[in-house]
Structure formats: C-alpha cells, structure tokens
Amino acid sequence: MSDSPRITAENWSDDLHWSFQHMDSVFPHDVIADDPTRRQVLAEAPQQLGAIPVALSDRTSSVEEILAETDTDGWMVLHHDRIIAEGYFGGMGPHSRHLLMSVSKSIVSAVVGVLVAQGKLDLTRTVADYIPELADAGYGSASIRDLLDMRSGIRFSEEYLDYDSEVRLLDEVAGWAPLRPGGPTTLKELLASLVQQREHGSQFEYRSSETDMLGWVGEAVSGQKFAKLASEVLWTRLGTRRDALLLLDREGTGLFDGGICATIGDLALFGAMIRDRGRTLTGELILNPEWVDDIFTGSPDSAEVYAASDPSRANSGGMYRSKFWFLDGRRDVACCLGIHGQMIYINRASGLVGVKTSAWPLPLDPEKADATLAMFDAISDHVGH
C-alpha cells in the first residue's frame, strides 16, 4: 500500500493498516533512539510453519489460515536466537514501525524495572512521593506496584466504544479523537482529574491510565523525557536495529499506555530479553533476573484478583503482573497485548518468541485473539525445545 496523503488526524482510523504503520506522519512524536554501533543482526533458520494444524474451540485451522483471517500486518517467530519465520502483508516490511497499542505498556514496565534496580524507584512508595503536586489527586496515594499491576482504586472505564468512558477521554487528549467541550485537553490534566473510588491495591481492573501515570513518574525521578530515558536504559542496549517512536499529546507528553511504534524484529529482541531473565541475546543484563522471575510468578493473590475481575476468567488460572498477561494457568507463557491485534508471545519452556502486528477492525476480537494465541502455542509445540 502506498503512502496515503488523504489520511489525517481526523480520519486516521478509516485505514488502520496504513495508519498503524505511519503514525509519525500524522501525529507528533519523539524518538526512542537506537545505537547504530550496537545493532544486532539475527541469524535465520527458516522453517515451513504454515501447514501446522491449530486446534480452535470449534474447528482445526492452520498457521497460514489464521494469519490470513486475523488482519495480519507482520509476524515473526524467534526460536532461541534464530528467526524461523517472518512475513509481512499490506505494505508492511522489516523496517516498518507499527503502532503497538498496549504492548507499549510492557516496554514501559521494563524501563520501570531498570529504575527500580538503579534505586530511583521504590515499588512501595506512592505517586505523591515522586510527584508532590498530585498529593490530593486520586492517584496520589497509589503505590508504584499498584500501577504496575493495574490495582489502583481509580475509576476508569476501558470501554473503547463508549463515548462516555474515560478511555475515550484518553483518545481525545492524545489527539486521536476530537476534544469535547469542557473536557481535559492534555494527558496530565486528565490523569490529575481521575477520582479514587475504592482502596488502592485491592482489586485488578485493566486501566490504561495506570501506565500513563507510570510514565509520568519515570520522567519525574529520572529528570528526562521518557523517550530519551527508554533509549538509554533499554532500546540501545537491546541491539535494536531501528529507532522506535513515542507518540505525544498536544503538550508534548508521551502516550505511554499505547503510543510506541516499533519494528517486528526489535519487538522480538525485547521478547527474547524477557524470556532470558533480563539478558539480551548478546549477553548484556538489562533487568535483574529476580525482577523478570517475579513477572512470571506474580504475587500470592495475583490469580485470585484476576479471576475476580471478570466472571469469564474465574477458572482460567491466569493473572496480570507488571504489564504482562498470563492467560491461563501456565506460568511459563507471558504475553504483551494491544488492541486491534498486537502481541508478543514469550514461551520460556520452549524458547519461542512470537510477534504479531495486526489491524483488526474492532479494538477487541476474542475469536481472533484466541486463534492467535493458539497459533503460537501450536508452533511452540511443533518446534519443541
């Protein structure tokens, strides 16, 4: 697909395949720089994976069919340190930076993990400890751990198609939807206005605002804009092969919850680092192994509060920890997930990392999400250890 000058901030959602790959041509952004001297070229060992059968709830499909049926823009499978499959559709290519939506949250979490290791952040401290002007705000008494695990007591609806939801306000301050009269105009204004409705730390509820608050805290304790911070502590050290981008609101604040854009290959490097307990494929330690292990084990009540958050999860055994999803009782398969079909699949048992970027017409599509997860599970079983 060629460049589409007809796409603007007013109609960008009309062509998601194009827009997700060209957000920087439509919206303001900052650069999460890579380091040209440290770029890593991944080895390739191609395998024919398209015919692998994939068991779905109502039928048996195949990898090839699922890729075709789930609006795929690009995908990659990394087994240990080798690319065994890679493909692009709809104008995307190896150097295309795709909007990650909430996969961005997992990247923010990694930056927070580095700040904790540096002693700049304490998970038990509150937002107001780091941003005193928020002492009387709803988020003021929430801990950093509450933000990481989506367990603040803030009232925030994540109903994407509801005009009256707080996540709709988030789209508006991001510039992704028209501002309503009298509403907040910047991300920080919105965050400062959110109201506490129950005790912090008591329940799990998915709220994008938690990650935006974390990004604000990260900038406060580091004294740097988030893009520069993420470049220094994460992106340059991963061996990434292209700058990532961070979309900004009209005030220049990063859209930390869903505004990062990156290439498929660089996401695979990120997933491999999480798989390998914080160590890159070249052996550099970015995150403390204990920090990464905690992502996979969770807290004693992580599964309990996850199940209580939604009746459909009651028997899943899943959990949410530090911006990573565990969708069933397995604790060796973590996922980074974003609406419209973004996923990093990390299987520590098989050594497999799968990445998929997509442009689903709807923000949430359980059938396509389940099929994508089943596809990566089937590939993981196929390649073994």
Domain membership flag for residue 234 = yes
Beta-bridged to residue 44, according to DSSP, are 83
pLDDT digits (tens, 9 = 90+) for 266-276: 999 999 999 99
Beta-bridged to residue 143, according to DSSP, are 126
Domain membership flag for residue 2 = no
Q: Check residue 234 and report its DSSP letter.
A: I
Helix (H, G, I), strand (E, B) or coil at 104: helix
pLDDT at 1: 40
Provide the CATH number for the domain around residue 121: 3.40.710.10
Domain membership flag for residue 6 = no
Domain membership flag for residue 5 = no
Cα 77 to Cα 46, 189, 243, 244, distances in angstroms: 10, 40, 21, 20
Domain membership flag for residue 31 = yes
Sequence-distant (6+) residues with CB within 8 A of 358 are 70, 71, 72, 73, 340, 341, 342, 368, 372
HSE of 273, CA atoms in CB hemisphere, 13 A: 28
Give me the number of domains the chain comprises. 1
Say yes or no to pLDDT of 146 above 90: yes
pLDDT at 4: 54
Domain membership flag for residue 74 = yes
What pLDDT band is residue 283 in, cutting at 50, 70 and 90?
very high
The average confidence (pLDDT) of the chain is 96
Say yes or no to pLDDT of 125 above 90: yes
Beta-strand relationship, 260-262 and 244-247? antiparallel
Sequence-distant (6+) residues with CB within 8 A of 48 are none
Specify whether the CB–CB gap between 318 and 327 falls below 8 A.
yes
Other CB atoms within a 10 A radius of the CB of residue 279 amount to 17
Determine the distance from the C-alpha atom of residue 326 to the mean position of all C-alpha atoms in its chain, rounded to a whole number. Answer: 14
**pTM assigned to the model:** 0.96
Q: Which of 3-17, 240-254, 291-305 has the lowest mean pLDDT?
A: 3-17
Specify whether the CB–CB gap between 340 and 20 falls below 8 A.
yes
Say yes or no to pLDDT of 173 above 70: yes
Say yes or no to pLDDT of 241 above 90: yes
Tell me which residue range forms the domain holding 170.
12-383
Domain membership flag for residue 100 = yes
For residue 288, what are its two tokens? 């403390």
